[in-house]
Copies of this chain bind each other. A is one copy, B any other.
Amino acid sequence: MSRLIRQHLLPRLSNPYLAPLTDGAVLGWPEGELVFTTDSYVVSPLEFPGGDIGRLAVAGTVNDLAVMGAEPVALSLGLILEEGLPLAVLERIVASISATAAEAGVNIVTGDTKVIESRQPAPGSGNQARDGLFINTAGVGRRRAGLKLDLSRVRPGDLILINGTIADHGLTIMSVRSGIEFESELRTDAAPLNGLIAALLDSGADVRFMRDATRGGLAAVLADISEGAGVSIEIVEEHLPVSRTARHAAEMLGLDPITVANEGKVVAVVAPADGERALAALQSHPLGRQAACIGRVAGSQPPLVELVTRIGGRRVVQRPYGEELPRIC
């Protein structure tokens, strides 16, 4: 199988840097800061509406670089295949990896493939599917010079922006697993955000901090910001972009969309005077059409996240613990 991959699949990823006969890729690097990140992906099922584990892996690592203010330069790709993974599935996922990398404008410059024996869920574990495929992507990016993205720069009055609807990825996965179907299809939002984030930074808006909202959803990112910067945050429920289908799915699954995983959403904290400019920059990009200003940094104490509800009440948004089903990404 390993030979099959080298011969039939990796050529699809080919680029000038991915030389099969060397142990790594050599990249020219003008002086400047480098950002380095990694993530493994174990999502089940491997394919789902709007994406697959391959798109997730490329987009996830690109986004980790982009939120740190780096333009992604190159990715590595580590595949761990379970014997018996259908070749057609593998081919589709490799094609998706290749397409997502092209969409993000990055090359996959070095890779590795391992094959593990087929296994099955432990009896009584309630698990059904085999794993089939795990993916690790690491990435290197070049940081924009002069950029100061830091939680220490977050201060009262700053605005909280997000580039579109929340909870789509997690609800898609959970709906597929639970066999629930909806009128209009739920789709993962998995997408590389480097282009969108470049547009935001190019606007000249003073961005204090960014983070992509993945596991734990928007709630986890807001908790990170609140705790990390030592500020209280106020979010307005009616400004939160949530699609009708997602809202419906969340109700049926008994979940709060604010705690559900995304794979193509960035939360940006922006200086008060730059809110409109930043929002316009996000909305000018295809992945930011539904961008919104969802709240603000209310004060310096206590480090809490509060949601102003539709009926004007207030509730504290907790950092989600143990809320997430396993294998969401």
Tell me the A residues contacting B by CB distance below 8 Å.
21-42, 63-65, 67-68, 70, 74, 76-80, 109-122, 125, 127, 131, 134, 136, 138-141, 143, 151, 211-212, 224, 228, 326-327
Chain B residues with CB under 8 Å of A122's CB are 117-120
How far apart sit A151 and B23, CA to CA, in the bound complex (Å)? Answer: 13
Chain B residues with CB under 8 Å of A117's CB are 121-122, 125, 127, 326-327
Among A22, A111, A122, A125, find the residue whose CB has the most chain B CB atoms closer than 10 A: A22
- A26 contacts which of B25, B34, B116 (Cβ < 8 Å)? B34
How far apart sit A212 and B37, CA to CA, in the bound complex (Å)? Answer: 25
A31–B34 CB distance below 8 A: no
Number of copies: 2
User: Chain B's nearest CB lies how many Å from the CB of A4?
Assistant: 13
Q: Which residue in chain B gives the minimum CB-CB distance to A42?
A: B114
A42–B116 CB distance below 8 A: yes
How far apart sit A279 and B228, CA to CA, in the bound complex (Å)? Answer: 54
Chain B residues with CB under 8 Å of A26's CB are 33-35, 68, 143
Q: Which residue in chain B gives the minimum CB-CB distance to A32?
A: B29
User: Chain B's nearest CB lies how many Å from the CB of A323?
Assistant: 13
Additional A-B contacts beyond A24-B37, A40-B136 (6; CB < 8 A): A25-B36, A26-B68, A29-B29, A36-B74, A38-B136, A116-B327
How far apart sit A78 and B131, CA to CA, in the bound complex (Å)? Answer: 17
A36–B110 CB distance below 8 A: yes
User: Chain B's nearest CB lies how many Å from the CB of A178?
Assistant: 17
User: Chain B's nearest CB lies how many Å from the CB of A125?
Assistant: 6
How far apart sit A37 and B117, CA to CA, in the bound complex (Å)? Answer: 25
Q: List 9 A-B contacts (CB under 8 A).
A: A23-B212, A27-B34, A29-B31, A29-B32, A34-B140, A40-B112, A116-B131, A134-B134, A138-B138
Chain B residues with CB under 8 Å of A22's CB are 68
How far apart sit A151 and B30, CA to CA, in the bound complex (Å)? Answer: 26
How far apart sit A115 and B134, CA to CA, in the bound complex (Å)? Answer: 11
Q: Which residue in chain B gives the minimum CB-CB distance to A27?
A: B34
User: Chain B's nearest CB lies how many Å from the CB of A299?
Assistant: 21
How far apart sit A13 and B328, CA to CA, in the bound complex (Å)? Answer: 26
Q: Which residue in chain B gives the minimum CB-CB distance to A40?
A: B78
B32–A138 CB distance below 8 A: no
A211–B23 CB distance below 8 A: yes
B140–A36 CB distance below 8 A: yes
Q: Which residue in chain B gives the minimum CB-CB distance to A139?
A: B24
A76–B138 CB distance below 8 A: yes
Among A40, A77, A116, A151, find the residue whose CB has the most chain B CB atoms closer than 10 A: A40
